[in-house]
């Protein structure tokens, strides 16, 4: 021990606080905080005591076996860079639990401060994210998924959901003694809830709604009969209103789909003949996309008004002419010089940025959010579109993964071969996905199943679930919320395949399962 016991302890706790700050903000700080933690652990010494803690902690060895599973399944990989990067990304799964579990237990109040520190960091990032979302046009942000400044918008949305329920816990369950703090927690919680819907990150919204339903149901069961009736009635009314609103949007697709071209040819104001494609079922806001088109007029007028040529690609990589035609259709305008001349400068800018429907320019409205889901379903069912649809692309990923798993059911493809296996299978089955959309499974369970086969997958399930659930009776609300977020996200994302996602999961998993509490190293730190 070089610096003294107290100093080493403070450095250890500082590294944990820094990691809590880093997870939503900086990949570099994630690495730096862990280097500090590991370096301090080595310099501190006391290895005999640390080994005794590890030796007596069977749960931590079970969990870190997941990393050894990756090493054991390291068949001669076809892509060594992929394999080595995978092992590098997942290294915290090995080191963080071992170093924390072998250190002295952490006090309950310190655990609480770590939760609060993490939440403050999430809120700090939210201000930057909200700013980028509001001013994304002036900032040149074409893809709304890029408004998250530091990490993936999906990973960040999961952190937002976790922060929401942390704030709920300290404001409503384990109430802070200071009333002002409880009010601040509550206001911050409401702000994050509003923001997660404003940003329209489907994964985060989906996870939040599921957990809210579970918590709400629990509250409802525990409430008095009068409150039960009131809350039940509110839910029924809200559900009916939402159903009717969604049905109205869907009907616009159906009505538009059944519309037919006029019996006689229609001429533009300039005397040119419109073209009509009756067989097409493409619809925008109830209007047929391929009706009332006079492309020569449209091309000439558009090139007068836009910096991007009619036959070039917009900022999202789609042909401008298709984006333009869909946008005009969404506004109920004819696709000719007259229709194009009626577009505002804001409309022109939106089309250049790849926005194909005027409703998508309305950032604060509910309609475009529901409409986008309806469009994905409609375009897949009636038009056969797959590319560009988050949901139906995932179906194709899973279909492809299923074929890979069928061929490598027992032992999997091995660590480092996942990307190559997908690329090969996409070519074999002549996938309808465009090359830029041919990605991995986007499902952590499926990814591990095709990597390790059934034997390795079963072990993963045991090694991941057992340590946490073994202490489930000792973990309370926050632990339940965290684990639920992780498991739900596994069905929709490869959560453990990125540094931010894996560090988030492993860090809090470690705090709940291996950090202990002063005076009893076998206990979970109660939230």
pLDDT tens digit string along 161-182?
999 999 999 988 887 668 888 8
Which residue range is the domain that position 316 belongs to? 283-361
Residue with tokens 């525990």: 222
> How far apart are the C-alpha atoms of 405 and 460, rounded to whole Å?
16
Residue 297 domain flag: yes
Segment holding 287, helix H or strand E: strand 287-288
Residue 345 domain flag: yes
Query: What number of other Cβ atoms are within 10 A of residue 248's Cβ?
Result: 11
Residue 399 domain flag: no
Q: Please tell me the total count of domains within the chain.
A: 1
Q: What is the pLDDT of residue 523?
A: 40
| DSSP reduced 3-state for 527 | coil
Listed in sequence order, the residues at least 6 apart from 520 whose beta carbon sits closer than 8 Å to its beta carbon are: 105
Assess whether pLDDT exceeds 60 at residue 474: no
| Region 353-377 average pLDDT | 88
Above pLDDT 70, what percent of the chain? Answer: 96
| DSSP reduced 3-state for 284 | strand
Is pLDDT larger for residue 253 or for residue 7?
A: 7
Listed in sequence order, the residues at least 6 apart from 484 whose beta carbon sits closer than 8 Å to its beta carbon are: 210, 211, 214
CA distances from 207 to 104, 151, 338, 489 (A): 34, 18, 46, 7
Q: What is the pLDDT of residue 227?
A: 74
Instruction: Tell how far CA 253 is from the center of its chain.
Output: 28
CA geometry: angle 501, 494, 148, nearest 5 deg: 50
Residue 288 domain flag: yes
Residue 341 domain flag: yes
Give the global pTM: 0.90
> How far apart are the C-alpha atoms of 389 and 429, rounded to whole Å?
20
> How far apart are the C-alpha atoms of 499 and 22, rounded to whole Å?
12
Assess whether pLDDT exceeds 80 at residue 225: no
Question: pLDDT band at residue 472, thresholds of 50, 70 and 90?
Answer: low
Segment among 219-228, 309-318, 327-336 with least mean pLDDT: 219-228
Tokens read off for 96 = 């963080």
> How far apart are the C-alpha atoms of 237 and 240, rounded to whole Å?
5
Is pLDDT larger for residue 436 or for residue 90?
A: 90
Q: What is the pLDDT of residue 1?
A: 62
> How far apart are the C-alpha atoms of 412 and 369, rounded to whole Å?
39
Q: What is the pLDDT of residue 396?
A: 94
> How far apart are the C-alpha atoms of 160 and 163, rounded to whole Å?
5
pLDDT tens digit string along 22-77?
999 999 999 999 999 999 999 999 999 999 999 999 999 999 999 999 999 997 77
Residue with tokens 């790849």: 354
Residue 254 domain flag: no
Above pLDDT 90, what percent of the chain? Answer: 67
Segment among 32-36, 76-80, 104-108, 288-292 with least mean pLDDT: 76-80
Residue 314 domain flag: yes
DSSP 317-381: SSBHHHHHHHHHHHTT--BSHHHHHT--HHHHHHHHTT--SGGGG-TT-SHHHHHHHHHHHHHHH
Tokens read off for 260 = 């037919």
CA distances from 145 to 122, 157, 205, 210, 443 (A): 17, 11, 14, 22, 19
CA distances from 277 to 257, 261, 376, 485 (A): 12, 8, 22, 47
Query: What number of other Cβ atoms are within 10 A of residue 260's Cβ?
Result: 9
Residue 502 domain flag: no
> How far apart are the C-alpha atoms of 381 and 489, rounded to whole Å?
26
């Amino acid at each position: 021990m070089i610096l003294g016991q107290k100093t080493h302890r403070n450095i250890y706790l500082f590294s944990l606080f820094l990691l809590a700050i880093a997870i939503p903000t900086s990949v570099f700080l994630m690495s730096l905080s862990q280097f500090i933690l590991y370096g301090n652990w080595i310099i501190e010494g006391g290895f005999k005591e640390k080994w005794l803690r590890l030796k007596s902690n069977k749960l931590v060895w079970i969990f870190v076996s997941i990393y050894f599973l990756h090493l054991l399944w390291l068949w001669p990989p076809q892509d060594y860079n992929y394999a080595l990067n995978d092992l590098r990304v997942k290294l915290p799964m090995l080191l963080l639990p071992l170093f924390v579990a072998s250190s002295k237990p952490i006090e309950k109040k310190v655990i609480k401060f770590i939760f609060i520190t993490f939440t403050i960091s999430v809120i700090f990032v939210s201000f930057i994210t909200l700013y980028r979302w509001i001013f994304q046009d002036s900032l040149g942000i074409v893809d709304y998924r890029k408004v998250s400044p530091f990490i993936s918008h999906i990973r960040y949305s999961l952190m937002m959901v976790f922060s929401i329920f942390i704030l709920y816990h300290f404001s409503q369950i384990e109430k802070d003694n200071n009333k002002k703090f409880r009010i601040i927690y509550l206001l911050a919680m409401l702000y994050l809830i509003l923001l997660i819907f404003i940003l329209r990150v489907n994964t985060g919204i989906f996870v939040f709604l599921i957990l809210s339903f579970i918590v709400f149901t629990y509250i409802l069961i525990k409430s008095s009969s009068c409150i039960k009736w009131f809350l039940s009635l509110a839910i029924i009314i809200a559900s009916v209103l939402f159903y009717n609103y969604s049905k109205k949007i869907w009907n616009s697709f159906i009505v538009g789909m059944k519309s037919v071209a006029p019996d006689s040819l229609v001429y533009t104001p300039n005397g040119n003949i419109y073209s009509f494609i009756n067989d097409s079922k493409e619809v925008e806001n109830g209007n047929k996309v391929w009706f009332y088109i006079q492309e020569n007029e449209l091309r000439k007028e558009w090139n007068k008004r836009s910096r991007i040529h009619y036959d070039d690609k917009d900022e999202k990589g789609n042909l401008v002419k298709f984006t333009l035609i869909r946008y005009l259709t969404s506004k109920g305008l004819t696709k000719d010089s007259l229709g194009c001349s009626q577009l505002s400068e804001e409309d022109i800018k939106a089309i250049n940025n790849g926005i194909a429907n005027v409703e998508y320019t309305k950032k604060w409205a509910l309609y475009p959010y529901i409409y986008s889901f309806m469009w994905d379903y409609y375009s897949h069912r009636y038009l056969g579109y797959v590319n560009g649809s988050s949901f139906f692309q995932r179906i194709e990923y899973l279909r492809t993964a299923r074929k890979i798993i069928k061929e490598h059911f027992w032992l999997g493809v091995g660590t480092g071969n996942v990307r190559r296996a997908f690329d090969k299978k996409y070519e074999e089955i002549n996938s309808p996905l465009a090359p830029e959309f041919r990605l991995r499974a986007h499902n952590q369970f499926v990814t591990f199943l095709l990597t390790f086969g059934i034997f390795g997958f079963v072990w993963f399930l045991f090694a991941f679930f057992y340590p946490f659930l073994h202490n489930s009776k000792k973990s309370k609300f926050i632990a339940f919320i965290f684990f639920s977020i992780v498991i739900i996200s596994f069905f929709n994302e490869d959560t453990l395949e990125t540094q931010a996602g894996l560090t988030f999961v492993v860090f809090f998993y470690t705090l709940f399962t291996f950090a202990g509490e002063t005076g009893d190293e076998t206990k979970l730190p109660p939230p």
